[in-house]
Amino acid sequence: MSWFSNAFPITPLALGLEVSFAVLLLIALTGFLNHCYHFISQIRDWASLPASQHTG
């Protein structure tokens, strides 16, 4: 088993840290995109509100 650890010096701890970091990055990116989409939809609703009031 020593030749395997020498050929691939990636320890289970480092592999777990990389996987957890990738998952956290994916969650952060998804939450950021969801927040931006919600913010843009709020701006669209706020921008369309005076226009509908003026036409009515």
Task: pLDDT band for 7, please (50, 70, 90 cuts).
Answer: low
Contacts of the segment 22-26: beta carbons below 8 A, 24+ positions apart: none
Q: Look at the pTM and tell me if it is higher than 0.75.
A: no
Task: pLDDT band for 51, please (50, 70, 90 cuts).
Answer: low
Compute the distance between CA of residue 19 and CA of residue 40 in angstroms, rounded to an integer.
Answer: 31
pLDDT in tens, 9-37: 668 888 888 889 999 999 999 999 999 99
Calculate mean pLDDT across residues 2-14: 67
Compute the distance between CA of residue 37 and CA of residue 24 in angstroms, rounded to an integer.
Answer: 20
Amino acid at 3: W
pLDDT for residue 11: 81
* Domain ranges for the chain: 2-55
Indicate the helix (H) or strand (E) that contains 26. helix 12-55
